[in-house]
Amino acid sequence: MIHAVILVGGSGTRFWPLSREKMPKQLLRILGDRSMLAITVDRALAMVPENRIWAVTTVSQAGLIKRELDSQGFERVRVIEEPVGRNTAPAIGLAAMRILREDADGILAVMPADHHIQQPGSFVDILRSGEMLADKGYLVTLGIKPMRAETGYGYLCKGSRLDAPDMGDSSLAAYRVARFTEKPDEKTAEAYLHSGEYFWNSGIFMWRADRFVEAMKRYLPGHYEGLMEIDGLGVPPADPGRMQEIYAGFQPISVDYGIMEHAGRVAMIPADVGWSDVGSWASLREILDKDADGNVLVGDVLALECRDSIVYGRDRLVAVLGLEGLVVVDTPDALLICREDQSQHVRRIVERLREKGRAEAVTH
């Protein structure tokens, strides 16, 4: 059976001032009238029943996540609590251990809670094909055809095409991953874009739970041993303090760096589903409707003689005049104004606010 594992970590600092430590990005309603987490759960429900959806988050955010799930009527989604955040490899490993307790043949469909998928039906079809590959022992990732020379993403290099028997009766193509590459410089990204051999690494995966645990044992043995001990503590853990101690000792590491880059049986399915990681305010230009002058305007906004700008208002009128290429985000206690091409660096503002002990970094 497929189990959907939704990664609900991080605070989305690049969406400050709308996001805060106690109002993380995945709870924001920036793409409509529902949170990004709720939209992600809806996508998962097209593939699995609610009791096979697992949300992995930290203890510090678990209360927020549970309240959001309950408010949306998702009372049967299971929440797995990490004592502290340690990046994606330990989070997925913890979920795999939990799922193996119930389903020895379980297949995990791993997805972040804060991505946008414009074509959810096609997305589910692709995951169904991924299920066949995962059942044959592949670690599967979805690759996104690059639309621009993006330097902020990791890339996958397409290898040989997998034979039809691995894909069953699916009409979709799948390929071995020849290699993973780090975030490139602009010149390299341009070469990747024009080669046709490279894809963005979406951070969406499928694999058998037992196969993933085996890979963790081989490539991240310290994490594996710690998770095995945590699993032996039971659910809920008989000794929460020991679980905290073990987990806090894990090296933070992503599943890409820790496992995928080293494993040999890795497959990629190209996914043309209108994907975005919604990584910054600038990404809203690709997702939300724009006016005739290329502006994205949300809330009570009056824009005169403005071009190619993003203006987000909440509780009061925001009037702007003569803007070009700017981001303006108004909240009751903080206002952000920056160039759109600098919106990836908004986290630097949050870091400085934390250094100064400002509450605006933490809560509204």
Residue ranges covered by each domain of the chain: 2-276, 281-345
Model confidence pLDDT, tens digit, residues 301-326 = 999 999 999 999 988 999 999 999 99
In one-letter notation, the amino acid at residue 93 is G
> Are 109 and 92 a contacting pair, CB within 8 Å?
no
Q: In 10 A of CB 217, how many CB atoms?
A: 15
* pLDDT in the model for residue 9: 83
Q: Of all residues in the chain, what percent carry a pLDDT higher than 70?
A: 98
Strand-pairing partners, residue 58, are: 82
* pLDDT in the model for residue 230: 97
The tokens of 207 are what? 């694999």
The tokens of 306 are what? 């403005």
Supply the mean pLDDT for the chain.
Answer: 94
Q: Give the global pTM.
A: 0.94
Q: Which of 28, 29, 26 is nearest to 56 (CA)?
A: 26
3-state secondary structure of 61: helix
> Could you tell me the end-to-end alpha-carbon distance of the chain, in angstroms, rounded to an integer?
41
Between 171 and 178, residue with greater pLDDT? 178
Q: Can you tell me which residue has the tokens 């975030």?
A: 183
Model confidence pLDDT, tens digit, residues 220-256 = 999 999 999 999 999 999 999 999 999 999 999 999 9
* pLDDT in the model for residue 167: 62
DSSP codes of every residue in 142-201: EEE--SS--SSS-EEEEEEEPPHHHHTT--S--EEEEEEE----HHHHHHHHHHSSEEEE
Model confidence pLDDT, tens digit, residues 38-88 = 999 999 999 999 999 999 999 999 999 999 999 999 999 999 999 999 999
Does 206 have pLDDT greater than 70? Answer: yes
**Confidence band for 168, pLDDT divided at 50, 70 and 90:** low
Residue 231: in which H helix or E strand, if any?
Answer: helix 221-232
CA 120 to chain centroid, in Å, comes to: 15
What are the strands, taking DSSP E only, across the chain?
Answer: 2-7, 53-58, 78-82, 107-112, 116-117, 139-144, 155-161, 175-181, 198-208, 266-270, 275-276, 296-298, 301-304, 310-312, 318-321, 326-330, 335-339
2-276: CATH number: 3.90.550.10
Mean pLDDT of 164-172: 65
* pLDDT in the model for residue 13: 87
Model confidence pLDDT, tens digit, residues 250-286 = 999 999 999 999 998 999 999 999 999 999 999 999 8
The tokens of 29 are what? 């309603």
* pLDDT in the model for residue 166: 64
Q: In 10 A of CB 93, how many CB atoms?
A: 29
**Confidence band for 205, pLDDT divided at 50, 70 and 90:** very high
**Confidence band for 11, pLDDT divided at 50, 70 and 90:** confident
> Are 318 and 328 a contacting pair, CB within 8 Å?
yes
From residue 106, alpha-carbon distances to 16, 319, 354 in Å are 38, 53, 41
The tokens of 122 are what? 């096609």
